[in-house]
Chains A and B, each alone.
Chain A
Amino acid sequence: MTGFERFVDTFFKWPLIVQYTPSILAGMVVTIQLAIAVVLTGLLLGLLLAVLRSLGRRILTWPIMLFADVMRALPPLVLVLLIYFGLPNVGITLSAFTVLWLVLALTLAAFAEEIFWAGMTSVRKGQWEAASATGLTYLQAVAYVILPQAVRITIPPLTNRTIAITKNTALGTVIGVPEILNQATTAVSFAGNATPLTLGAIAYLVLFFPVVVLGRWIETRFAWKRA
């Protein structure tokens, strides 16, 4: 066997590609479900927390800041293990899917809250005053004046952070969520060949490469033009 044939036989063995593509596709479905759940709940919760923080009540601000700090400081895998293996000891059993969704959504919420908050505080006070001076209502001011300006600096970091946290769905493999990586590693141990992992890597590329390119485009599209 030539070196190239050995390489193909190890990483792209055709019978195994045929055999394991269905389970990798099944894994992709789980990954996509998780990703959608995490992104929707994480961003919504983050926005909600940022709005609550903007009310300026200390009783709200302090717990929100504490939550955001702790969730940004801890590696998600630590929380996944803590919740998945710790809670059953006190009688609370959550499915692996639920645990992963909870941890990633809360992590995203913490980062999103900080980003939304930074966006809201970046709009100068004069903009609020000018908006209401021209006769806009509070809602009109928010929708037509404040948000369009806040979004400009919010979108790029938010996109990058969302992509990074969504990629963490691969952590599910550690607690047995049947997502792409889990399917791939299981298949590798059955097949005794690396091909399923190659398939898994390709599946992630198919899902995330377009998103990364989109993120790059958004970054340039929304960047302030430097004078």
Chain B
Amino acid sequence: MEQLAEQFFNLEIALQVWPLMLRGLGMTLMLCAIIIPLGIFGGLLAAIAATSNSHALRIFTRVYADFFRAIPPLVLLIFVYSALPFAGINLSPLAAVVIAFVLNNSSFYGEIFRAGIQSIGEGQWHAARATGLNLAQTLFYVIIPQATRNVLPDLASNTLEVVKLTALASVVSFSELLYSADMARSVTFNATPIVMAAAIYLIIMWPLVRLVGRLEHRIGS
């Protein structure tokens, strides 16, 4: 029991590595602030293309979405980070992480928005066009607001997944929360920093998990 506390809940080590963990948390939040908006924006564009009248565009976005949903994000990340340098393209860890994760999460967001747009009845399009709105106005003032409302739970739950996804950035030594924790673990030979990282993820994610559950429930009923 004492050994367990010593190895997993070591207060001395916790105090020592606390500043490092905070910096890691800051990087995790910064990463989220970059890839979530970019992913949502890319997903919206993909969804608009996927529901357009152009046959070629629809096929292209479907293959794009299926391709990036089939490749595990870690594989994509390692490909971008360690295969592209062989072709003379050297990216910083941050750039590699942003490229890989935006490609990944925009295809998931895209599928969600596509479902949302398709859930809006034809009549909304006709009515909007009849009142003199052009295509872009119809999309942004009429269709997308309603579509977003319909798929809000899915958007929220995918965003949670994106936050959890950022932990993979540690593999390419981007110094986010998990990377900092693992560094601290290998220096102190003690698992306490990882327990701290887990606790920090829990504190951030738990309320969000509950919130998403409630959202899903409300729309479902």
Interface of A with B (CB < 8 Å)?
6-7, 10-11, 69-70, 72-79, 81-82, 85-86, 89-90, 114, 118, 122, 163-164, 167-171, 173-174, 180-181, 185, 188, 193-194, 197-198, 200-201, 204-205, 208-209, 211-213, 216, 226
Contact = CB atoms under 8 A, between A and B. Distances in A.
A181 B198 contact: no
Contacts of A77: 167-168, 170-171, 178
A114 B194 contact: no
B45 interface: no
A216 B118 CA distance: 15
A201 B71 contact: yes
Contacts, number: 140
B82 A170 contact: no
A226 B73 CA distance: 34
B69 interface: yes
B165 interface: yes
B167 A78 contact: yes
Contacts of A198: 79, 83
A140 to B, nearest CB: 27
A214 to B, nearest CB: 11
Given A7-B87, A168-B72, A78 B201 contact: yes
Interface stretch (B3-11, B18-26, B52-60, B141-149): B3-11
B216 A181 contact: no
Nearest to B8: A86
Contact of A81 (B75, B84, B178): B178
Nearest to B77: A170
A89 B7 CA distance: 7
Given A81-B182, A85-B185, A204 B161 contact: no
A200 B194 contact: no
B195 interface: yes
Given A89-B191, A164-B161, A193-B86, A82 B79 contact: no
A181 B78 contact: yes
B195 A208 contact: no
Contacts of A163: 69
B150 to A, nearest CB: 11
Contacts of A86: 7-8, 191, 194-195
Interface string B149-175: 000000000001100111110110000
B148 to A, nearest CB: 18
Contacts of B84: 194
Given A11-B86, A86-B191, A209-B66, 13 more contacts: A73-B205, A74-B201, A81-B178, A81-B182, A85-B185, A86-B194, A90-B3, A90-B8, A118-B220, A167-B72, A170-B75, A185-B78, A209-B67
Contacts of B119: 226
Nearest to B87: A10
A173 B77 CA distance: 13
Contacts of B194: 78, 81-82, 85-86
Q: Top 7 closest A-B pairs, CB basis? A: A86-B191, A75-B167, A73-B205, A194-B83, A208-B70, A167-B72, A170-B72
A168 B164 CA distance: 12
A204 B209 contact: no
Interface centre among A78, A169, A173, A201 (most CB of B within 10 A): A78
B46 interface: no
B190 A72 contact: no
B165 A118 contact: no
A82 B35 CA distance: 26
B75 A181 contact: yes
B74 interface: yes
Contacts of A188: 82-83
B33 interface: no
B133 interface: no
